[in-house]
Structure 1
Amino acid sequence: MGDEAAEYYDRMLVDAEWGEAFCLTFVRGLDESALISAFGGDPAAVRSPVDLAQVLDTFRYGEEPATLLIATAGDWRIGIEVNGGQGWRAEVLRRAAAAGDGTALSVFRDISGRSEFTYVTGDRVQAVIDHIRPQRRSGTNPEVLDALLAGLPFGHRDDIIPEAAGLALAERITGVRLPLDLLEQDLPGVILTPVPDDLVPEGGRGLAALDHPFIRRMLAAPTRENLPAMLAFRTRLIAEDAGLLGEPAVQGVLTALDADRPAAPELRARLRELHQRLAGDLQAMNAVQDVAAAAFDTGDPVERFATTYAIHDSDRSLQAVVLRRCALHAVPSAAPVAPSAPVPAPAPVTAPPRTAATSSAYAVVAKEFAVWDPGKQRTVTRWLARRAFEVAGLATLDWARPALEALDRGEPLPFPDRRSVFRLISAAALVTATTGLPLDQLENRLTESQRAELRERIDRAPMAVITIFNTANPDPARALEDTFVTALETFDGRPEDLIAELRAQFC
């Protein structure tokens, strides 16, 4: 095992239709039913691959429920999610480990570029390793797997897909090798009901911030009846952290929330004025948006617990996260999407699973997008794709320029298929396109700054490519939404920058 195993899994992922986004979860010491239950599925509802595909075909594209396929290799059960990530979540991995012999691990990649190996034992996440930047680790014991990492080509080393190194690490831990035709086998599958988030994030367990009497009461009773109190307390946390407690409009909202009564209608205009007055301070503006969301009921209780503002104080931040999770627990899940008539499935994978950050950023601009006419929606969509290519450092490459020009003219993209483009953004291809040198001839010819810039380009390239394909959605509104979300990922955690640029250009 070692580099040979990584090369084996590299071939597997290159050839696999599911290789762009997936999660493989390994658990030992449990049966198929126990694995399904740990993921939130019903063991009595297992279907054949054909039956499962027929059920999924009845859902609108992009609204399909989470699914799980189950394989067996040696003593290990393997949960397979194509374009899914329940097995990446600590809540699911801990449940699976507890149902087995106490150990679970997963190899995860989504199309936004997030790529992680997670290892759980003893009801704790021991280590999370970033496949692309393996020096980035977290968990209770981040170095626990160090003895097994030697020689594994994480970070695109040797032009190996980073997740292939993760699968090689899984092989070192489990002692089992996955067959190349894994998803061509007749594997049983099941539709999942996602396991709820823990009320307290694993990293927050035992921290003093949770000893606050109010937080303890809400954790003991995360019910709908307590939603008004949670909303009032959480909104005050945001206002206090952002230094807005002295603003009369904010005080008016807090007074109304404390009394569990509707905010006065005139507060809407006063909050808008405050938002405008704070122009230039994006964090303060975000805080005002969250206060406004809490103040005015749109009919969806969850929307009132907006998360646009990033709380600085660690205690307040943990308390706000816990209260939002309590609120989500108190509000019944949305009803399942009613199946529509079967429709032809478009090319797989066009939008990443929504994170809290991307959902919050989209919420900031969603109302503006909705009132634009289709022509403007298309114009902004094309601009977003070009910005994604520019930020990812791809716009000047020989193959990218004709694609962006075709996009500007409203013509089809000049690619035979999606996979042909992904071959153009492999580590080796990007190194050669950027430097004119093959990957194996770089040696010490780049400065550390140049290497860092090249790594950033390699990391952001997949999301930029997904962005340009998202522009082709026949629905202008959906194309705009999906393109904004994927373009946002190329800005690497800076949603306010993209939103500011967009508004300066089009608003």
Structure 2
Amino acid sequence: MRRSTIRDAACLTLVRGTDLGAVAEDFGAVTAYGRPMDIDEFCEEAFAYQEKHPMIALRPIGEWTLVVEDSGHQGVRPEVLRRVAHPEAVSLYWNEDVRTRFARTAEGVVRTAFEAVLPERREGTDPDGLERLREDLPWSQADPVALMMALAGRVTGLTPGSDWLAGEFATYPVAPWPDDLVPVALDEVEGYPAELLGAVHTSAEVDRRALVGTLTHYLATAGDCLELPVVQRLIAGVRPACGEVDQTVRELVWRGIWKAPASSDRNRVRAMQVLRHAMQADSRCALTGILAEAPRVRGVRAQEVAELVRRALLG
């Protein structure tokens, strides 16, 4: 690897199974734009489009699928690992700044993860799950990439070598999955009267859910995305299937990559990114997220949002 095209910065992910199409889709690949390439052609393409979108290259190795990213990091994102690691995935990442990451994920859950230069600081649901395989490797003495490759070989039963990068790959551009939502605490929401925020905390669940629908309609109108099926279901109080809102965001972002997006297109993406909060199971978190980020959408006025909250929760 250190003598290859991806020597300076890369992410390698090994996914158990050989359904390349399914693995590519779990990574967020835009499969209609797939092309066969060798590793050097792929790296040139990835470099040319690095400011627009990531790219992945896939090929089967034994009973596993190898996913290569040149200077990418999709394979260590929890948003990807949650989708792709069924039943299992092993990923290793390094960059020019000597940052590294090794992760083993099973059934969509990160079991063991650590920085190669600090293997004693492990995390995951089973942080010590690889100790029997890991502990006798010379972590303080050898190249961290070589160490991660050795551990990946032990976990998967594969023998790492230059042949991993030989031959033809199936390559795709990626429209990345949006970052997981981070709950917004009530005291982090700014620009609204304290009495309204207090009402968000103390009001009944049914009233909060109704308000989520009202705010969804308001934001979708401002963002010109009322016609989207997922938005219509959110307004009706029906939560779409898991990931459907994220898929809609990906599609809107991808459309903007291959054309000069109008201001209205960018505003539609912003509106959908805010409306992702409506998917949160906790209605308080859904509301605090929407209220905190609503001003990002052009055409949204804080006083109008505050009035909708007042009518819904205070009468």
Global fold match (TM > 0.5): yes
Alignment TM class, shorter chain as reference: 0.5 to 0.7
Deviation of the 1:92 alpha carbon: 1.1
Alignment map for 1:2-401 (pairs within 5 Å): 12-13=1-2, 15-49=3-37, 59=49, 62-98=50-86, 102-155=87-140, 157=141, 160-199=142-181, 234=184, 237-238=187-188, 253-255=191-193, 333=253, 335-336=256-257
Larger Rg: 1
Code of the residue aligned with 1:135 in structure 2: it is E
CA distance in 2, matches of 1:172, 1:57: 31
- Unaligned stretches of 5+ residues in structure 1: 1-11, 201-214, 216-233, 240-249, 260-300, 302-325, 340-507
Q: CA deviation at 1:64?
A: 3.8
Contact 1:126 1:142 in 2 (8 A): yes
**Percent identity, aligned pairs only?**
29
The CA deviation string for residues 117-138 of structure 1, in whole angstroms up to 9 with x for no partner, is 1011133111102100110111
Work out the number of aligned pairs and report it. Answer: 210
Q: For residues 117 and 52 of structure 2, what CA distance do their matches in structure 1 show?
A: 29
Q: Cα gap change, 1:179/1:238 in structure 2, threshold over 3 Å: closer, same or farther?
A: same
Distance 1:199 1:236 in 2: 15
Distance in 1, Cα, partners of 2:7 & 2:104? 21
Between the aligned partners of 2:70 and 2:45, the Cα distance in structure 1 is 16
RMSD between aligned alpha carbons? 3.5
* Per-residue deviation, 1:238: 3.2
Offset from partner CA, 1:332-378 (integer Å, 9 cap, x none): 64821659xxxxxxxxxxxxxxxxxxxxxxxxxxxxxxxxxxxxxxx
Change in 2 beyond 3 A, CA 1:185/1:116:
same
CA drift of 1:180 comes to 1.3
State how far apart, in whole Å, the 1-side matches of 2:27 and 2:20 are.
11
Q: Distance in 1 between matches of 2:37 and 2:249?
A: 35
Q: Which structure's residues are more often strand, by fraction?
A: 2
Does the CA contact (< 8 Å) of 2:12 and 2:69 recur in 1?
Answer: yes
TM-superposed deviation, 1:21: 1.1
TM-score (norm 2): 0.57
The SS at the match of 1:25 is strand
